[in-house]
Structure 1
Amino acid sequence: MLFGKLLPREGNFFEMFNQHAERIVEAARAFSQMVANYNDTHLREKYNSDVDNAERAADRVTHEVTKTLHQTFITPLDREHIHGLINTMDDVVDLIQDSAEAMALYDIRQMTEEMTRLADLSLKCCERVRDAVKLLNQIADQSVAEAALKTCQEIDRLESDADRVLRAAMSKLFREEQDVRELIKLKGVYELMETITDKCEDVANTIEGIVLENS
């Protein structure tokens, strides 16, 4: 009986990764909708609440992954990769929530074109993260591994696009905004929104490492 209890067990990490990735997309989609409907106070509050709900659900998955990791003797991936991946993914959804909260805390009155573009790029990045994560349990197949790497490259390109939007937004802000307080608020929100795509790129880098080591 004791021997049976000590047999190595493999937790269902891939399923939990997929669950978390879906929560990331839910948060990003709600955030994008919040930005698109920002002038409607009711919808803004609704989508902000949806972001919070997705973030809490993602936290529960992260906790479950960590708990399972401690209870599992043999894992399908390197332990450091599992730990690094789930925590970096959780950083993404945290940053989405932080961005939504910052708009309220900084008393942002209306969205700019650059905020809309950054929210759209963030959603696209998060969707690509989900797509890449879904492939992890099949990366022993060379064609799947190549598809995962290609998706990671798409995330890199989207992050570069967000960098360009941020630089253009900053340039416009410092040229045109006369109110120093408004400048500081907008600068903070722009930078925070862009970090969402930065963190998606970190997830992509982690996935690339996993693919290269396991395919």
Structure 2
Amino acid sequence: MGLNGIFQYFIPKDRKFFPLFEQASGNLIKIGEALNDFVNATDEDRRQEIGKIIEDLEHKGDEITHQIFLELGKNFITPFDREDIHALASAIDDIADFIHGSASRIQLYKVKVMTPPIKKLAELVLQGCQDVDKAVVELKNLKNIRVITDSCVRINSMENQADYIFDTAVGELFEYEKDAVALIKYKEILSALETATDKCEDAANVMESILVKNA
């Protein structure tokens, strides 16, 4: 056993950060599911209800992130690099922020028609949230490294697909949408959704960095 292995053996089992990260990633799945319900809702009143659920879940995510940062300030020994803890918590929080931002823009801009690209991007966002959660759950012992790496690969693939859908949808907007205001509204919504997938990739990159340093 190397020096790092001996040192890790004597570090007390973490009971602070991993439960908080699992709460944060579990909350991501809920907000991702709510986003899909939101863009597929046909009743405007129902969409308003789901919008409130998304807002509440985003606030819950903020609280968990705040708690992680508080624990960073209180604990000298952490399960992995403090910078990585901060980066992962921030990336997960950003995903929730942009999901909330997407739904908020739809409501603020009073957009009624959800286009196929909007629905597909929301679906990809949920897929990213699910893979972030799968990887986060395995961070606590790093025994199932393959699960983490496979999740990160799927997230990267998902983000590439989201880029293509975004670029294609924006290109079609400029070609076919004659209403300049509508064009701006849809482009802003698509941009927020695509950025949420970027943040999923950010989380995956942090977890890959953690694997390189600790596995």
Q: Distance in 2 between matches of 1:87 and 1:136?
A: 16
TM-aligned CA deviation for residue 146 of structure 1: 2.3
Q: Distance in 1 between matches of 2:58 and 2:87?
A: 18
Whether contact under 8 Å (1:81, 1:206) holds in the other structure is yes
Q: Give the letter aligned to residue 110 of structure 1.
A: V
Over residues 128-177 of structure 1, what are the superposed CA-to-partner deviations in whole Å (9 max), with x where a residue is unaligned? 111111110121x3xx1122111101000011111111111012111110
What secondary structure, in the 3-state scheme, does the structure 1 residue paired with 2:140 have? helix
1:48 is aligned to 2:51: yes
Over residues 70-89 of structure 1, what are the superposed CA-to-partner deviations in whole Å (9 max), with x where a residue is unaligned? 11111111111111110111
Aligned-residue identity in percent: 34
Structure 2 partner of 1:4: none
Whether contact under 8 Å (1:138, 1:145) holds in the other structure is no
Over residues 177-196 of structure 1, what are the superposed CA-to-partner deviations in whole Å (9 max), with x where a residue is unaligned? 01111111111111111101
Over residues 14-67 of structure 1, what are the superposed CA-to-partner deviations in whole Å (9 max), with x where a residue is unaligned? 110000001111111101100000x30121011111111111111111111111
What secondary structure, in the 3-state scheme, does the structure 2 residue paired with 1:191 have? helix
Structure 2 partner of 1:123: 126
User: How many residue pairs were aligned?
Assistant: 204
Q: 1:32 aligns with which of 36, 43, 46?
A: 36
1:87 is aligned to 2:90: yes
Structure 2 partner of 1:98: 101
1:103-118 correspondence to structure 2 within 5 Å? 103-118=106-121
Structure 1 partner of 2:171: 171
Could you list the runs of 5+ residues in structure 2 that have no partner in the other structure? 1-10
Whether contact under 8 Å (1:92, 1:196) holds in the other structure is yes
Q: Distance in 1 between matches of 2:141 and 2:149?
A: 13
Structure 1 partner of 2:4: none
What TM-score do you get using the length of structure 2 for normalisation? Answer: 0.92
Q: Distance in 1 between matches of 2:130 and 2:191?
A: 21
Whether contact under 8 Å (2:58, 2:100) holds in the other structure is yes
1:19 is aligned to 2:19: no
Q: Distance in 2 between matches of 1:115 and 1:31?
A: 11
Instruction: Tell me how large the CA RMSD over aligned residues is.
Output: 1.3
Structure 1 partner of 2:183: 183
Q: Give the letter aligned to residue 213 of structure 1.
A: K
Over residues 101-153 of structure 1, what are the superposed CA-to-partner deviations in whole Å (9 max), with x where a residue is unaligned? 011112212110110101111111111111111110121x3xx1122111101
Whether contact under 8 Å (1:11, 1:75) holds in the other structure is no
Whether contact under 8 Å (2:134, 2:147) holds in the other structure is no
Q: Distance in 1 between matches of 2:163 and 2:207?
A: 21
Structure 2 partner of 1:59: 62
What TM-score do you get using the length of structure 1 for normalisation? Answer: 0.92
Q: Give the letter aligned to residue 107 of structure 2.
A: A
Whether contact under 8 Å (1:11, 1:68) holds in the other structure is no
Could you list the runs of 5+ residues in structure 1 that have no partner in the other structure? 1-7
